Amino acid sequence: MSELRYDPVKKVWSVIATDRSRKPDDFLVKRLEFRKEEINICPFCKGNEDRAGSEIFSIRKKDEWLTRVVPNKYPAFRIEGELKRTGHGMYDAVNAVGAHEVVIETPKHHVNIGSYTDQILYNLFSTFKERLIDLQKDTRFRYILPFKNYGLLAGASIEHPHSQIIALPVTPNVVKTKLSASLAHYKSKERCLFCDILDQEREENSRVIYENQDFVAICPYASALPFEISIYPKRHNHCFTSTDEGEMSGLADITREIFLRLYNVLENPQLNMVVHTSPPVVKRPSQPAYWTSIREDFHWHIEITQRLSGVAGFESGTGFYINPVAPESAAQYLKGAGK
């Protein structure tokens, strides 16, 4: 019997369709592959730095770069200009002021999700942190999103390992829903919604995939998609930029473990990874009460979703999904695939 489950964070229903339960092998479809790109034309490879655009930030060891941040060549948002809000009758618009940066994760061209090292991931997350700290100073930006697309189906257009950071002049609805859910929970219970979820998940232990000293990875109770994963810091912390050195190592460790398990179980799936952190806490004259309890009510986290199947009519008509892999089964498959 299938079950409708409600996600208290995203405020959506998902159908967990256990009677059409699927195994990891069922998702091994023929994938789009990158053209065999020659390394000497890849703009992100070592030696081709001048093709990638002017460097915004880098982590270096002696003379060698380990990560580099460059502007996106085809930006969805541009950094120049004043923020303008306009209205045409029923319709509202804001000009696309923002930032769109690319993080080149390593000088190495061939790194699949099964071969990431702690060091590459530590450098990647440290780069996210430094860029967030810098971009948060710009009061035009309402939300800053670091994310990774892996594979053509997931939106990556270049094979070389990279992530992106987008700074937006508006708060996305997905984030607004999470912020309002966590605020409402805090107002009625004086506790963090995410800390409560974590406590329960660790106690029930049926959807936990892996944990280390500072982080826990779970398949969420109302997962909309097969093999969806959330990673939470154990320490209550609203903002990713407050992650300390020790926690950064823990984050690199848990992400490597999850990538490796996904690689093993789903044979190198295409995926998206997003970091959801607190918006920049800037006082807005129009909303003076904003963010008064955000330090207490929000809890930053990472979401990883696999691009395993397309979206059908039911999904686009209802906004909720039929998931043929119960998160309990997904967690069991991934838990046992660590080596």
CB nearer to Zn ion: pick between 169 and 250: 250
CB nearer to Zn ion: pick between 183 and 225: 183
Please list, residue by residue across 37-62, b when 16 or more beta carbons sit within 10 angstroms of its beta carbon and e when fewer do.
eeeeebbbbeeebeebbeebebeeee
Site stretch for Zn ion (CB under 5 A), options 103-111, 216-224, 272-280, 300-308: 103-111
CB nearer to Zn ion: pick between 126 and 237: 237
**Residue 160 found at the interface with Zn ion (CB under 5 A):** yes
Binding string, residues 303-322; x marks residues near Zn ion by CB under 5 A:
--------------------
Q: Which of 50, 49, 67 is nearest to 58 (CA)?
A: 67
Min CB(185)–Zn ion separation in Å = 10
Min CB(121)–Zn ion separation in Å = 18
CB nearer to Zn ion: pick between 161 and 269: 161
CB nearer to Zn ion: pick between 44 and 143: 44
- Cβ(206)–Cβ(331) below 8 Å: yes
Min CB(236)–Zn ion separation in Å = 4
**Residue 194 found at the interface with Zn ion (CB under 5 A):** yes
CB nearer to Zn ion: pick between 44 and 128: 44
Residue with tokens 């508006």: 170
**Residue among 5, 14, 16, 44 that touches Zn ion (CB under 5 A):** 44
**Residue among 22, 140, 202, 236 that touches Zn ion (CB under 5 A):** 236
Q: Which residues contact 210 (CB under 8 A, 6 or more apart)?
A: 216, 217, 254, 257, 258, 261, 334, 335, 338
CB nearer to Zn ion: pick between 10 and 335: 10
Backbone angles phi, psi at 193, to 5 degrees: -60, -40
Site stretch for Zn ion (CB under 5 A), options 44-52, 81-89, 144-152, 204-212: 44-52
**Cβ neighbours around 321 below 10 Å, total:** 23
CA distances, 43 to each of 40, 46, 160 (Å): 8, 8, 9
**Residue 299 found at the interface with Zn ion (CB under 5 A):** yes
Pair of tokens at residue 238? 């609203």
Q: Considering CB under 5 A, how many residues would be counted as binding Zn ion?
A: 10
CB nearer to Zn ion: pick between 134 and 196: 196
Please list, residue by residue across 79-92, b when 16 or more beta carbons sit within 10 angstroms of its beta carbon and e when fewer do.
beeeeeeeeeeeee
Pair of tokens at residue 51? 């093709």
Pair of tokens at residue 272? 């998206």
**Residue 111 found at the interface with Zn ion (CB under 5 A):** no
- Which residues, 50 to 89, sit near Zn ion by CB under 5 A? none
Give the three-state DSSP class for 63: coil
Min CB(275)–Zn ion separation in Å = 16
Dihedral, 23, 25, 30, 35 alpha carbons, nearest 10 = 110
CB nearer to Zn ion: pick between 53 and 78: 53
Please list, residue by residue across 173-193, b when 16 or more beta carbons sit within 10 angstroms of its beta carbon and e when fewer do.
eebeebbebbbebbeeeeebb
Min CB(39)–Zn ion separation in Å = 6
**Residue among 192, 222, 273, 331 that touches Zn ion (CB under 5 A):** 192
CA 147, CA 141: separation in Å to the nearest integer?
17
Min CB(111)–Zn ion separation in Å = 10
**Residue among 9, 15, 16, 45 that touches Zn ion (CB under 5 A):** 45
**Residue among 10, 22, 78, 109 that touches Zn ion (CB under 5 A):** 109
Binding site for Zn ion (CB under 5 A): 42, 44-45, 109, 160, 192, 194-195, 236, 299
